[in-house]
Structure 1
Amino acid sequence: MEISCNHCYTKLNIPDEKIPKGRKASLLCPKCKQRIHIMPDESNTQTLDSSEIPVQSKAPQVPVPRRVYPETSEYNASDKPFDLLDENAKTALLCISHPHALEISVKIMNSMQYQIETVDNVQTALNRMKYHLFNIIIVDEDFDVNRRGFAYLMEYINDLDMMLRRRTVVFFLSKNHRTMDNMASFHLSVNQIINISKITGMEGLVRRTVKEHEQFYAIYNESLRKMGKIT
């Protein structure tokens, strides 16, 4: 089945068996990162996003010229981290090279009821992020170090639209920075730094950082929900 993004007009070919029958589904556009909603329809399946919802207006609407579709890109199901999730599900991407730190991070995310995706290299991480916006990303400074894993990952994250970037909390596990080093966090564009020597007791800090982030952007996110920009 072929669907198109209403924002950048990228076309995707998705195998019919990957589309749930009679149920609403969604995925992120791999090009512009806007969410594409696939609505169930008895006759055929169509795409719909917030900008296509009819708005009552007395003023006549001037049609906007459509851009030429770029070359169709194939949908790779193996790159999608989760087959089907409730739209309110919380998700975490773990990019951690140290086994002990990974084990503890998995336990914390499970305790906080996050759906987890673990990756061992930066290319896999970027492939997963093409189709899903993670609520939490935990990365350590030795992650895929031969390919600049942390730096490469942060370049991608910082290039996201700010509306999307604000929905993700990034934790950086470091051997060289102290825990809660706010100045270093600012320079590295992460939400929180945790020294890897303090990894055992980091659950409380993770919970507090996430809660403060949610409270800080609560009004902003509620405004986006009212506008239909997020769910």
Structure 2
Amino acid sequence: MDIICSNCSSKFRIPDEKIPAGRLTTLPCPKCKTRISLDPAKKTAASTAARGGTTYDTSDKPFDFMEEEGLTALLCEQNPIARKTIETALSLMDYQITIAESARDALKRMRYHAYDLIVVDENFDTKNPDANGVLIYLERLQMSVRRNIFVAMISSRYRTMDNMMAFHASANLIVNIKNIEDIGKILGRGITDTELFYRIYKEALKESG
């Protein structure tokens, strides 16, 4: 399918076999990150925007097709038992889940999609939990972007809901691996608390002008 972004007029092509059949899906423009809707019934996803612009090679771009208005989660966990437990919990919470195979894979995926939730093990693709590539990337994000992502870190060193260590690790929440069976409940509470905090924060900003 040939695609043209209505915002920046960039053109790129995605193999038809990578596009889910039978439903409307979306993806971010590789250049400007504007969400583009794809209709598999059409041969070309285009707009009334100018037809000029740069053509992108999408062969190395990890396009994740998301249903309209769906919550998305990136899972960075290499322990197969823990990964399965987390994946099941996220599915019950109605998240569309992307599983990263490595830190490099995770970074590439985050570059092209802003996830609502990222669950990352402190030891994901590293022998040194203090040099976790995914967490370092998240720490360096602009605050305007970072505050829209809920980051849960799976840890064997810190206790569940340790807010001080979560702050130190640039995460919103810590889940100790011993409590992994309850991760659904723990995430639900953590996300609710964070949403309440930012609601109050945004209201205060609005009142202050």
Common fold by TM > 0.5: yes
> Which residue does the alignment assign to 1:13?
12
**TM-score between the two structures when normalised by the length of structure 2:** 0.73
State the alpha-carbon separation in 1 of the partners of residues 80 and 38 from structure 2.
41
Give the CA deviation at 1:186.
0.9
The equivalent of 1:182 in structure 2 is: 163
1:136-163 deviations in whole A, cap 9, x for unaligned? 1111122111597962112322333333
- Partner of residue 79 from structure 1, selected from 56, 62, 70: 62
Aligned to 1:59: none
Kindly provide the amino acid, as one letter, of the partner of residue 118 in structure 2: I
One-letter amino acid of the counterpart of residue 88, structure 1: E
CA displacement at 1:96 relative to structure 2 = 0.5
- Determine which of 100, 104, 107 is the counterpart of 1:126: 107
Normalising by structure 1, report the TM-score. Answer: 0.67
Which whole-Å CA distance do the structure 2 matches of 1:155 and 1:5 have between them? 33
Q: Give the aligned partner of residue 179 of structure 2.
A: 198
What's the secondary structure of 1:167's corresponding residue? coil
Q: In the aligned structure 1, how far is the partner of 2:37 from the partner of 2:83?
A: 35
Would the aligned equivalents of 2:24 and 2:68 in 1 still touch at CA under 8 Å?
A: no
The residue that corresponds to 2:192 in the other structure is 211
Number of aligned residues: 194
Equivalent residue number for residue 102 of structure 1: 83
What residue ranges of structure 2 are gaps of 5+ in the alignment?
none
Asked if 1 retains the 8 angstrom alpha-carbon contact of 2:29 and 2:36, the reply is: no
Query: CA deviation digits over 1:27-51, x for unaligned, max 9?
Result: 334456x4244588x9x85469xxx
Please tell me whether the aligned partners of residues 185 and 192 of structure 1 are also in contact (alpha carbons under 8 angstroms). Answer: yes
Judging changes above 3 Å, is the alpha-carbon distance between structure 1 residues 27 and 81 closer, same or farther for their aligned structure 2 residues?
closer
Where 2:132 maps in the other structure, the secondary structure is helix
**CA distance in structure 1 between the partners assigned to 2:89 and 2:64 by the alignment:** 19
Map 1:27-176 → 2, pairs under 5 A: 27-30=27-30, 34-37=33-36, 46=46, 73-76=56-59, 79-82=62-65, 85-145=66-126, 151-176=132-157
Query: What is the identity percentage for the equivalent residue pairs of Structure 1 and Structure 2?
Result: 33
Equivalent residue number for residue 63 of structure 1:
none
Query: Which whole-Å CA distance do the structure 2 matches of 1:201 and 1:135 have between them?
Result: 20
Tell me how far apart the structure 1 counterparts of residues 6 and 134 of structure 2 sit (CA, whole Å): 24
Match for 1:206: what amino acid? L
Q: How far did residue 110 of structure 1 move?
A: 1.4
In 2, the alpha carbon distance for the partners of 1:210 and 1:171 equals: 10
Counterpart position of 1:229: none
Q: Which residue identity is paired with 1:157?
A: L
User: Please, what is the CA RMSD of the aligned residues?
Assistant: 3.7
